[in-house]
Structure 1
Amino acid sequence: MAIMRISKLNWLTSGFLAAFLACLLTGCGGASDATNATGGSSAAVSPAPASPPAQAPVTPTASRIGHVFVIVLENKGYTQTFGSGSQAPYLANTLASQGALLTQYYGTGHNSNDNYLTMISGQAPNAQTQADCQYYTDWLGTMSPDANGQVTGTGCVYPAAIGTIASQLDAKGLAWRGYMEDMGNDLTRDGRPTCSHPALNGKDGTQSATATDGYATRHNPFMYFHSVIDNQSYCDSHVVRLDSLATDLNSVATTPAFSFIVPNLCNDGHDEPTCADGKSAGGLPAVNRFLQAWVPQIINSPAFQSDGLLIITFDEADTNDTSACCGEPTGPNSVAPGLTGPGGGRVGAVVLSPFVKPGTISNTPYNHYALLKSIEDVFGVSHLGYAGMSGLQGFGSDVYTAAP
């Protein structure tokens, strides 16, 4: 379904119990090659947020951006992706040289699901999201956000009162879409071709890929908010198959203001060394193939060429890297967002835009909360959850280095 882009306006629980449950569900492993880079930390943090550097003012460039694209990949640390001999040279070399490389970008937790939810809502992890929501449980706890924008409790599907970037864009009259690869390939597995999620409180049958279907509900963050899933027609028109992106990119009018793009379990690098079909190489080689197929379509589209911003990053590093940055708080529902440490590890990110000078390198610490803040700054909306934490920096003049 084509969508019209409306012109952008000037742009209870105990934390210890939560952590204990997460350990039971996922296993609390030991530690791998965490990178103690500038701005990062691998030490445990207290429940109270640390004081990050003084917040920089929003750069005027952000308000000139009209279309934001985010591609989320899986489970690779910075050195593995961007180090010498990377198996994703298109990302590490070609794309990084065409835009900005964010060397100090961090995941916010382990395992996957909590990172995705943070990116669109600013909510901190809880025991079930850290365990990748094996069961699609409804929220049990407070139903309205506290002064930090957080709800206290546990569960997978957040109350309708919890805002997301989607609800913020709706309020501004701006279009958004989530594009999910393989969603609906196997309807007996996925349930629906669009807005696909398990029955409430039911088991998630998409935790592993099959030979023909690599869709994973846990990597589709929009499915974890009642504000999205409770209106079926609304959800069906906004959370769609990846195939729809190629058509939507044909014109500025049909390109959403915000596009959240998730590859399948092969192409996001999750499954390795081979994918579920038993033939295709997984891991970073699969990431390389996916980006080579889709990034040119995005950056050559009329919307991107006009005022686009593309961010490519990973949800988390290896679970043994629990480093964090940016004064990341633990939140009310977990002692340790990284299960055994404060964060999701150093993953890096690449940013492409007409507003980014090729070859830019930023060593400023960022994480998924900062990503959400940066997107909100683009669209001129308030900051949700911990994206509104005092002192947290969004992308600034270190990233927006060109003025077309």
Structure 2
Amino acid sequence: MLIRKPVIASLLAGALALVGSVLAVDTGFSGTTTAAAAAAVPRPDHVVIVLFENKDYSTIIGSAGAPYLNSLAAQGASFTQSYGVTHPSQPNYLALFSGSQQGVTDDSCPKNFTGTANLGSQLLSAGYTFKGYSEALPSTGYTGCSSGTYQRKHAPWADFDNVPAASSVPFGTFPTDYGKLPTVSFVIPDMCDDMHDCAVGTGDTWLKNNLDGYAQWAKTHNSLLIATFDEDNFSSVNQIATVMVGEKVRPGSYAEQINHYSVLRTLEDAYGLAPLGSAAGATPITDVWTTSPPPTATPSPTGPASPSPSPTPVPGLVNGGFEYGTFTGWTRTGTTAIAAAPHSGAYAAAVGSTSPTNGDSVLTQTFTAPPGVTKLTLWWKGDCKDTVAYAWATVVVKHNTSGSTSTPLPRTCTANGSWQQVTDKLTPGHSYTVQLVNHDDNHPGDPGITWFDDLTLS
């Protein structure tokens, strides 16, 4: 949905101005500050980024099948709202490495880009160092599309002519003296150890056996480990696990929404590099560092993102089409995500999950109906594989001024895959609270998810 209302534009402008003022503060981190945003990101001596394949967030975080990754999440920053940017794998790797999917929409090989800027070329041009370490790569600089369990589609630096062949090396050359690592390294396990062809536990054990030494070293040597995934298991939600561990990382769970562009922007800010492509519009990760002010307490994933019991009504709905790409204006409970599966525009809200969840997941917003507004309209689409006795979607509107409650969408369980419209009558000047609800009973065989989009007032 396109954002048309002046009040929304005004609120967004105010928010952007506030962000700009915060980023302009000189926080005194080590390294030369080259831009206002960069001042909020410390500069590690070494960064190692390891990518795994095709697993959704709930398959990793909190799962007994990934004990080591969960131990890293406890030692560092664990992002509860981290997402891939598309499907399938290859464009996600390109997005993280170059700020763009480069027009790639599949996993075909080879891809060759001439003179196209990327993180590797940026680092090298700025006097830093870069290498990509790929397990099962047969030789340094190998440009073939595959060899045994190696796949070039997971090694994006091989696609760019401005990254030297010498920067693409077998993982067997990863140094045991971590002080000899490049400034930034990507580590790509093979098709088994990255969890693509083998179990989660296989990749989890590989990570522990091969990179725990670096992870522990990083915590005392101004360095950083980032463990993440390219995409989830091909759902429309595309939520993934992302964990950061290092000396300047403040342990905890962080609920801001991030994606591959956010991670790239953070690295570019750390080293004073100009943000590439979509990274220029991404917000760098600034709250996880010990060099930044402590964040306010983050509620658990099952609690409300904003705990205020009496929200102040705003004049009209904010972000009713979720086109900010965030949940600005909304309070969240349970499992929610911004999804690239809209009724219109670029985004919708996904409430619930393609994996089982327990109880209600809810998006809530309180607003005042502006003069002349008499109707709330919204669109929803369900994927409920159970019966309405155990799982459902519903929309509840509390008429705060009159004290009544309506349910424009009564409890419904359907998996027909079609967008459907519901409406509710409003009175100008009255206060309302709209709740978008997905309920699931946590049964392993029939998870439920509901998408909502295009909430408008007329």
Give distance in 2, aligned partners of 1:112 and 1:100.
24
Aligned partner of 1:220 in structure 2 is 155
Residue 377, structure 1, aligned to residue 355, structure 2 = no
Give distance in 1, aligned partners of 2:39 and 2:254.
18
Aligned partner of 1:20 in structure 2 is none
Give distance in 2, aligned partners of 1:361 and 1:380.
27
Q: Deviations over 1:113-144 (max 9, x none)?
A: 10101111011353xx32202x42xxxxxxxx
Q: What is the alpha-carbon root mean square deviation over aligned residues?
A: 2.4
Aligned partner of 2:66 in structure 1 is 88
Residue 270, structure 1, aligned to residue 163, structure 2 = no
Higher relative strand content? 2
Q: CA deviation at 1:88?
A: 0.8
Contact 1:100 1:350 in 2 (8 A): yes
- SS of equivalent residue, structure 1 residue 348: strand
Residues 175 and 181 (structure 1 numbering): CA distance in 2 closer, same or farther, change over 3 Å? same
Residue 292, structure 1, aligned to residue 175, structure 2 = no
Residues 348 and 251 (structure 1 numbering): CA distance in 2 closer, same or farther, change over 3 Å? closer
Contact 1:66 1:378 in 2 (8 A): no
Give distance in 1, aligned partners of 2:141 and 2:272.
27
Q: CA deviation at 1:251?
A: 5.0
Q: CA deviation at 1:241?
A: 0.6
- SS of equivalent residue, structure 2 residue 73: helix
Residue 195, structure 1, aligned to residue 141, structure 2 = yes
Task: Determine which of 109, 114, 122 is the counterpart of 1:159.
Answer: 114
Aligned partner of 1:122 in structure 2 is 99
Q: Deviations over 1:47-75 (max 9, x none)?
A: xxx97963562364623422111000000
Aligned partner of 1:322 in structure 2 is 236
Q: Deviations over 1:343-381 (max 9, x none)?
A: xx11020110111123x1100000001110011011111
Higher relative helix content? 1
Q: Which runs of 5+ in 2 are unaligned?
A: 4-8, 24-36, 293-458
Tell which structure's C-alpha radius of gyration is larger: 2
- SS of equivalent residue, structure 2 residue 240: coil
Task: Determine which of 236, 250, 257 is the counterpart of 2:177.
Answer: 250
- SS of equivalent residue, structure 2 residue 94: helix
Aligned partner of 2:122 in structure 1 is 168
Task: Determine which of 344, 364, 367 is the counterpart of 2:256.
Answer: 364
Q: CA deviation at 1:168?
A: 0.8
Residue 400, structure 1, aligned to residue 400, structure 2 = no
Higher relative contact order (CA 8 A, sep 6+): 1
Task: Determine which of 274, 279, 286 is the counterpart of 1:387.
Answer: 279
Contact 2:38 2:270 in 1 (8 A): no
Task: Determine which of 129, 136, 144 is the counterpart of 1:182.
Answer: 136
Q: Report the identity percentage.
A: 28
Q: Which runs of 5+ in 1 are unaligned?
A: 1-42, 137-155, 185-192, 199-203, 207-212, 229-233, 272-281, 324-344
Q: Deviations over 1:242-269 (max 9, x none)?
A: 1111x2x4152x2210010000000000
Q: CA deviation at 1:314?
A: 0.3
Contact 2:219 2:245 in 1 (8 A): no
Give distance in 2, aligned partners of 1:174 and 1:304.
21
- SS of equivalent residue, structure 2 residue 203: helix
Contact 1:299 1:305 in 2 (8 A): no
Residue 261, structure 1, aligned to residue 151, structure 2 = no
- SS of equivalent residue, structure 1 residue 103: strand
Residue 355, structure 1, aligned to residue 242, structure 2 = no
Give distance in 2, aligned partners of 1:59 and 1:171.
18
Post-superposition, which runs of at least 4 consecutive aligned residues in structure 1 deviate over 3 A? 50-56, 58-61
Give distance in 2, aligned partners of 1:385 and 1:375.
14
- Output the amino acid matched with 2:271: F
Query: What TM-score, normalized to structure 1?
Result: 0.62
Q: CA deviation at 1:205?
A: 4.4
Give distance in 2, aligned partners of 1:159 and 1:322.
32
Contact 1:105 1:367 in 2 (8 A): yes
Q: CA deviation at 1:396?
A: 0.6
